[in-house]
Homo-oligomer: A and B are copies of this chain.
């Protein structure tokens, strides 16, 4: 295993599970096999679209064990260990390490809004329970916590905290944000929010934490490599092809889109955890129209042959 878990394309697959939240480890392994074969830099297991927040400790352990067995060291496995309680996040860190994960992804999940100090102490307590490198999962859209740059700087002094997964900056100033974070921290800096990924990589980000990469890894890898090579024109062209799908991510939430596509790709059944609902027929059709040419490209087929 040569690649860093926090550089390049980190592919975040959905976690196939039944309506009761029981993980389908066979379907999960089929998804992971595709990622390994495509050659992604790392796999982000149990991210937000991997429904970590909706799965029990036991099911999360089953998912990690199945993933370690399937991946077999070919690609670094980064495992989401977010939980509302600090002790639960610590339990999940120990479980993931014992199961053979290579790195951890920690989101400051909140119910009562958290202070900067509370999140610092939360990360410190979790870091102290594991030897694995940690990535800060900065996703205010789901955790409802906003990291200050001062907090990121403070967290970067904890030895095993090595990376941060950032949301796209509200003001669009990726270069400014990257410069500010590089000045304050030595963290590897990656971005989520697929529609801004190409721009983030062109601006010098270290990684793309990618929902698309979890389903269509070759397509996402082509974009990643082109952008990281600095080829702006070709990056824009590839990103343009993905735009219709990303518009559905923005309109419906990427989780509802990717769960629908797992089945469409014949990779198994994947039920959204209720209260999340499947898309209605009109919205499904819009996703299919956007995804069909991409799936064809991924499979090496022409759009016509899929119709």
Contacts and interface: CB of A to CB of B under 8 A. Distances in A.
Interface of A: 19-21, 48, 53-54, 84-87, 108-109, 111-115, 117-119, 121-122, 125, 141-142, 144, 253, 255, 273-277
Contact of A125 (B114, B117, B274, B276): B274
A277 B115 CA distance: 9
A113 B253 contact: yes
A139 to B, nearest CB: 10
A294 to B, nearest CB: 23
A85 B19 CA distance: 10
Contacts of A86: 274-275
Interface centre among A21, A111, A115 (most CB of B within 10 A): A111
Contact of A144 (B112, B144, B255, B277): B144
A117 to B, nearest CB: 7
B21 A87 contact: yes
B277 A112 contact: no
Contact of A275 (B48, B108, B144, B276): B108
B141 A113 contact: yes
A82 to B, nearest CB: 9
A54 B111 contact: yes
Contact of A122 (B19, B21, B125, B274): B274
B85 A273 contact: yes
Contact of A53 (B54, B84, B125): B84
Contacts of A108: 275
B21 A111 contact: no
Nearest to A111: B53
A119 B119 CA distance: 29
A48 B276 contact: no
A112 B255 contact: yes
Given A87-B274, A125-B274, 17 more contacts: A21-B85, A48-B112, A53-B111, A54-B111, A85-B273, A111-B142, A112-B142, A113-B141, A113-B253, A115-B277, A117-B277, A118-B276, A118-B277, A121-B274, A121-B275, A122-B275, A144-B144
Contacts of A125: 274
A112 B107 CA distance: 13
A276 B87 contact: no
B118 A275 contact: yes
A211 B108 CA distance: 25
A148 to B, nearest CB: 16
Given A21-B87, A85-B54, A275-B121, A109 B112 contact: no
A108 B275 CA distance: 9
12 contacts: A48-B112, A53-B111, A53-B112, A54-B84, A54-B85, A111-B142, A113-B141, A118-B275, A119-B275, A121-B275, A122-B275, A125-B274
A20 B275 contact: no
